[in-house]
Structure 1
Amino acid sequence: MKKTYPSWENRKTITVSLPVEDFERLDKLAKHTGRSKNFYIKEALSKYLDEVEDIYFLERSIELVRTGQDELIDLEEAEEELCSE
């Protein structure tokens, strides 16, 4: 799925210091593919944030179940709830 980014008015700029090896790898990739370094940094950050957010959500869900603040339901019950909506 192609990622779309907000217009220039809805962006913030950040400066990142990279190890020389990472910068050189990024630079080589950008030159080889004709895409900008900025493109690859945005793509990598977006994917990383998606994964980290999922991990934190799952960790929090597990903690809620362990402490009795939430409960697990079986697959059949979940399917019934989803289909009845």
Structure 2
Amino acid sequence: MLAIRLPEEIEARLDKLAKRTGRSKTFHAREAILKHLDDLEDLYLAEQIVRRIRSEEEHTATLDDVEARLGLAD
């Protein structure tokens, strides 16, 4: 079970959408969360990786370096 507080403007938009579509506000809120959860997870993972790269805990390689290491260089 999840209960969230929304700004009045968002609540009004959600209410209007629910009335126009004949579906509940809960339905639309659930759909929005499901559609954007993957994006949020990807964003936070990318931010963690960037922090590790900047702190030199993680290193990067160019495509040329990877190809050379794998024996795929021209």
Q: What range describes the TM-score normalised by the shorter chain of this pair?
A: 0.5 to 0.7
- Do the aligned partners of residues 61 and 22 (structure 1) sit closer, same or farther apart at CA in structure 2, a change above 3 Å counting? same
- 1:71 counterpart = 2:56: no
CA deviation map 1:29-84 (0-9, x unaligned): 01112222112111222344323322221111112112222111234638xx7xxx
CA RMSD across the alignment:
2.5
Q: Which residue of 2 aligns with 1:20?
A: 8
- Do the aligned partners of residues 32 and 75 (structure 1) sit closer, same or farther apart at CA in structure 2, a change above 3 Å counting? farther
Query: Aligned partners of 1:66 and 1:20: how far apart in 2?
Result: 39
- In the alignment, structure 1 segments of 5+ residues that lack a partner are 1-12
- In the alignment, structure 2 segments of 5+ residues that lack a partner are none
Q: Give the paired residue count.
A: 68
Q: Which residue of 1 aligns with 2:24?
A: 36
* Percent of aligned pairs with the same amino acid: 40
The 4+ residue runs of structure 1 with deviation greater than 4 A are none
SS of match in other structure, 2:3: coil
Query: Aligned partners of 1:19 and 1:63: how far apart in 2?
Result: 32
Q: Which has the larger radius of gyration?
A: 2
Q: What's the TM-score once normalised by structure 2's chain length?
A: 0.65
